[in-house]
Structure 1
Amino acid sequence: MTISSDFRVSHSPRLFSLLVIGLTLSSFATYALAQTEITTKSEALEATTDVSSSLPESPDAALIGQGATARSTASVSNTPSKRVLGIIPNYRSVGVGAQLPPQTIRNKFITAASDTIDPSSFALAALLAGYNDARAATPEFHGGAVAYGRYFWHSFADQSIENVSVEFLVPAFTHEDTRYYTLGTGGKKKRLEYSLTRIFVTRSDSGKETINLSELLGAGLASGVSSRYYPVSQRDAGSVLQQYALNLGIDAASYALREFDNDISRKFSRKHDK
């Protein structure tokens, strides 16, 4: 079968982008499964160690030990994992009822930097680049591997600027806490609503609820700044607002994943045990 040159020219960039997306997603899945298995084995080993090291001398002591183990298990289940779904860094999540000292400016800078240079940030940039390349979001980038490279560094720069603005620059001035405090209790609908509204509501450094200016202003600032290195056709108000909405959407989704991370992990663990 003969493939016309027109087909190759018009479809090869799209096929290239779809291939990159597929490879990135498969890498995500492989890494997540590996991390889940490692976590499950680690927790099982810790549980075995706890049980084998406690040899009660009486039935009463056994009951006390069981109660302590139950409390310990409950505490662990409410503690946010180090990575959401075994992939996304979870530096800013805090367990239910945690009482922590205020974030220092140094703490805010470290979390922003950690989120920016984490391998998952490069993977997300690769996915966004593949998606934008496949739909030719910026025609000036043309097509093929060179265009994909342009989409990639633009996507990575967008994320980096947004991380620094939302997690460091703005909260340093507004004295806001950038950590995510999980709700952890109540129905799924209540917890979902809580997590999604965290882009509008957060805590101040003093512990009081306040408008999340870090998110609302930081995401807007990042959208405006990032538009400056795009072609002129992408610098209009509509394009900036579209990027602003994308920034807020990604952050809202990440809060929801953080809220339900332990629930998802337990489901995977139960399936793995069967």
Structure 2
Amino acid sequence: MLPRVFLLFLSLCLPLLSNDAIVLLHNSQEPALTLSGKTYWYFHEAFRPSKLVTNAAGAGWAQWRDDPKEWGQGAEGFARRYGSRLAISLSTDTFQSIVGAATHADPRYVVLRDGSIRHRAIFALEHGLISRYDDGKERLAYSRFAGAIGSAYLARTWYPTRLTHESRTWEYVVENIGSYMIRNLFHEFRPEINRAFHIKH
């Protein structure tokens, strides 16, 4: 049952997901994004429609698990969980964009799109931790870590006290980076996924 529900959810979300305007082919000679280009990327990424859908799904899952239990059930409980996820998502993108602009990081997803499935999957996961910079070199994604850490500590201001201890905060950081790796996998294999679901862009 769950695999079918997941596939249905995926098929509904895919048309809303980002397109190739926000990906960068590995070893491409494309020029670095200007500040206005990076600003466009921020608004495109932070306010894309799919985030409303995926965060609603995440809030629904948390509601079903009654997590956190202090927020209760019903419409009010769902609203708090949904609002929390939207705030974390927006703050992650905001911190990442500010630090990225300061460190001259290119915010686009770097994709390979060539080679074996295993090689491409490893590449996508690695580039959850690595960013392309304006000089064309790839280094540790400081802006991505800033987004994950900044949003995790900001969320402590509204989470129940029992969930604001240091170890739990760093669990959120790891989850955030992990979700970026998953998005990298999607962008790497998006052409194949689109063909499987008969989606045209």
Which bracket does the TM-score occupy, shorter chain normalised?
Answer: 0.7 to 0.9
User: Is 1:106 paired with 2:42?
Assistant: no
Give secondary structure in 2 for the equivalent of 1:210: strand
**Which residue identity is paired with 1:237?**
E
- Distance (whole Å) between structure 1 residues aligned to residue 79 and residue 10 of structure 2: 20
Alpha-carbon distance change, 89 to 244 in structure 1, aligned in 2, over 3 angstroms: same
**Which residue identity is paired with 2:166?**
A
> TM-score, normalized by length of structure 2?
0.87
Q: How many residues align?
A: 194
Higher helix share: 1
**Which residue identity is paired with 2:63?**
D
- Distance (whole Å) between structure 1 residues aligned to residue 185 and residue 91 of structure 2: 22
Residue matched to 1:130: 60
Residue matched to 2:110: 181
User: Is 1:233 paired with 2:162?
Assistant: yes
Q: CA deviation at 1:26?
A: 5.0
Give secondary structure in 2 for the equivalent of 1:199: coil
**Which residue identity is paired with 2:146?**
L
Q: CA deviation at 1:97?
A: 4.9
* Contact 2:110–2:127 (8 Å) recurs in 1: no
Q: What is the aligned-residue identity percentage?
A: 24
Aligned residue among 122, 136, 146 for 1:193: 122
Deviations 1:165-200 (A, max 9, x none): 22x111111111111222111111000000001122
Give secondary structure in 2 for the equivalent of 1:206: coil
Residue matched to 1:142: 72
* Contact 1:161–1:226 (8 Å) recurs in 2: no
Aligned residue among 235, 256, 268 for 2:185: 256
Query: Structure 1 residues 149-158 or 131-140, which shifts more?
Result: 131-140
Alpha-carbon distance change, 142 to 25 in structure 1, aligned in 2, over 3 angstroms: farther
Q: CA deviation at 1:154?
A: 0.4
* Contact 1:113–1:164 (8 Å) recurs in 2: no
- Distance (whole Å) between structure 1 residues aligned to residue 47 and residue 7 of structure 2: 19
* Contact 2:110–2:132 (8 Å) recurs in 1: no
Q: Where do residues 236-247 of structure 1 align in structure 2 (5 Å cutoff)?
A: 236-247=165-176
**Which residue identity is paired with 2:70?**
E
Residue matched to 1:120: 50
- Distance (whole Å) between structure 2 residues aligned to residue 109 and residue 219 of structure 1: 19
Deviations 1:42-83 (A, max 9, x none): xxxxxxxxxxxxxxxxxxxxxxxxxxxxxxxxxxxxxxxxxx
Q: CA deviation at 1:267?
A: 3.6
- Distance (whole Å) between structure 2 residues aligned to residue 27 and residue 251 of structure 1: 19
- Distance (whole Å) between structure 2 residues aligned to residue 188 and residue 26 of structure 1: 24
Give secondary structure in 2 for the equivalent of 1:202: strand
Q: CA deviation at 1:114?
A: 1.6
- Distance (whole Å) between structure 2 residues aligned to residue 268 and residue 234 of structure 1: 39
- Distance (whole Å) between structure 2 residues aligned to residue 225 and residue 99 of structure 1: 37
Residue matched to 1:223: 152
Give secondary structure in 1 for the equivalent of 2:136: coil
Q: CA deviation at 1:28?
A: 5.4
Deviations 1:149-176 (A, max 9, x none): 110000111111111222x111111111
- Distance (whole Å) between structure 2 residues aligned to residue 263 and residue 183 of structure 1: 13
Q: CA deviation at 1:104?
A: 2.3
Q: CA deviation at 1:214?
A: 1.4
* Contact 2:132–2:139 (8 Å) recurs in 1: yes
- Distance (whole Å) between structure 1 residues aligned to residue 62 and residue 169 of structure 2: 15
- Distance (whole Å) between structure 1 residues aligned to residue 120 and residue 168 of structure 2: 32
Q: Flag as ranges the 4+ runs of structure 1 deviating above 6 A.
A: none
